[in-house]
Each structure stands twice: as structure tokens, then as C-alpha cells.
Amino acid sequence: MMGKRSNYPRISKDFYPTPAKAVLPLLPFLRPGTRFIEPCGGDGALISHLEAHGHTCVGAVDIEPRHRSIVARDALTLTTTDVVGAECFITNLPWSRPVLHPLLAHLKGLLPLWTIIDSNWAHTIQAGPHMHYCSQVVSIGRVRWIPGTSSDGKDDASWYRFEAVPTETIFKGRAALSDLRSVEHNPTSVPGATASRHARHHQYSSPMTPKAKETKG
Ligand SMILES: C[S@@+](CC[C@H](N)C(=O)[O-])C[C@H]1O[C@@H](n2cnc3c(N)ncnc32)[C@H](O)[C@@H]1O
């Protein structure tokens, strides 16, 4: 990955915690109280933002975790047993294509997968096989991946949702700033947003034990 693209040196394992602002465009597309698994949890930043909006992390792993609540595990080893009780994955996968593509292929077969990827990725030849399974693209715009820097990343980013079976893709462009402000307080308020049609409901019985909200400090 060239960045999340910038002139800064690349960070090991593509560890770029997701800032809170990048989560806002996704909120209208999540069922209230969504029970999700974070398969590349990093330091738990994305988990905290989602839980602040009423969603529940029922499992979190990372190949090189940066928080004690996140289990050290390669997401490529997750199985159907590990995801019982969750409706979907929500994450920000590494953008490095040789890492991204196997993770996409594996995870979408276990649960619907929401992840952030650069917007241009959808237009590359490499994305073709994966885009058959992409049901939604929700535009985020530029993201400031490195806190404290004055410049945003060089790529626009989007939330992408992948399914286990081929599907048409619905594209949702940038939300107006006023909509983003209101979604912070009322996640279902953005015009045109729909709750997930694919939500599945189970009791949680995952062997992974995140509890990120309780222990993140
Ligand atoms: C872009 S960071 C995102 C961190 C976190 N999801 C967030 O948004 O705040 C990508 C994370 O993926 C992790 N990672 C890379 N390959 C992985 C794999 N095969 N299995 C699990 N985690 C992986 C890295 O260690 C890193 O923490």
C-alpha cells in the first residue's frame, strides 16, 4: 500500500487506526445494535467508534494486536464456529493488495463484511472478481489516517459491503455535511439510507472475547 497513501513511511502491518469521522457515513446502513466482529482490530479504534454509536463488538482479533482486549490471531484462520452470534464483520482491512484480497475472499464467506478500502480500488482490474460480491459502496471521502498531521490521505475512501454470493452493487455518494452532523446524533436520519437487509440474528457464543469497550484504556 502506498499510504493509506501519503508521503509518510509505511506503518508495519498497515496499522492505520480508523478515525471517528470515517465511521459516520456507515452508521445509517447498520441495524441499531449491530453485533459485529472486528477481524483486524488493531488498537480497537474502530470498535470504540462503533460502540459509541450503540453497536456491539462480539469478537475481535488481529495478527499483531495493539490492545489487550484483542485476540492475537490471523483472520484467515477464522471459521464458521468463530462467528456464531455475529451479524457481520466491520473492519478496516489493510489496503496492501496481497493482504487485502485473500482477507476479502475468506471473510465474506463467513459473514457479510463491511470494510474501508480506497475508492479507486473498485475501478482496478484486480478488484473485478471481488466486486461481484459487493452489495454496497458508501463514499467517505478523504480520511486523515495519521492523527496530528495537517494533510489528509491522498486517496478517497469508501465503505464496501461484501456478501457470500454474487450480487448487484448499490452506490451511495457522499453525504452532505449537515447529514453527517445529524447522523452523529441520530444514525437513521440520512436521506436514502437503509438498514441492512442482510442482518442475521443469533445468540453470541463466540470463543473470541473482545470486551473492547470495557477494557480499552
Ligand atoms: C488499517 S489497520 C486497521 C485497524 C483497525 N481495524 C481500525 O480500523 O482501527 C489494519 C490492521 O490489520 C491487521 N492485520 C493485517 N493482516 C492481518 C491478518 N491476516 N489477520 C488479522 N489482522 C491482520 C494489522 O495488524 C492492523 O492492525
Higher pLDDT pick, 54 / 215: 54
Burial of residue 188 (CB within 10 Å: 0-12, 13-18, 19+) is middle
Q: If DSSP codes are grouped into helix, strand and coil, which group holds residue 114?
A: strand
Distances (CA, A) of 33 to 29, 37, 159: 12, 13, 19
Distances (CA, A) of 94 to 24, 39, 50, 172, 182: 20, 11, 19, 23, 30
Q: Are 92 and 68 in contact (CB under 8 A)?
A: no
| First-last CA distance in the chain | 30
Among the listed residues 45, 41, 43, 44, the one whose alpha carbon sits nearest the alpha carbon of residue 66: 43
Instruction: Determine whether the shortest distance from the Cβ of 184 to ligand 1 is under 6 A.
Output: no
- Beta-bridge partner residues of 23: none
What's the pLDDT tens digit per position in 131-154? 999 999 999 999 988 877 765 677
Question: What pLDDT is stored for residue 92 in this prediction?
Answer: 97
Instruction: Determine whether the shortest distance from the Cβ of 13 to ligand 1 is under 6 A.
Output: yes
What's the pLDDT tens digit per position in 76-119? 999 999 999 999 999 999 999 999 999 999 999 999 999 999 99
- Domains of the chain, with CATH numbers? 22-188 (3.40.50.150)
Instruction: Determine whether the shortest distance from the Cβ of 163 to ligand 1 is under 6 A.
Output: no
> Which atom of ligand 1 is the closest one to the Cα of 40?
22
Q: Are 59 and 86 in contact (CB under 8 A)?
A: yes
Q: Which of 26, 37, 40, 101 to mutate to test the pocket of ligand 1 (most atoms within 8 A of CB)?
A: 40
Instruction: Determine whether the shortest distance from the Cβ of 17 to ligand 1 is under 6 A.
Output: yes
Residue 6 has pLDDT above 60, yes or no: no
Residue 212 has pLDDT above 60, yes or no: no
pLDDT band at 41 (very low <50, low <70, confident <90, very high): very high
Average pLDDT, the chain: 84
Q: Which of 62, 66, 106 to mutate to test the pocket of ligand 1 (most atoms within 8 A of CB)?
A: 62
- What is the H or E stretch that residue 213 is in? helix 212-215
Tell me the pTM.
0.84
Instruction: Determine whether the shortest distance from the Cβ of 41 to ligand 1 is under 6 A.
Output: yes
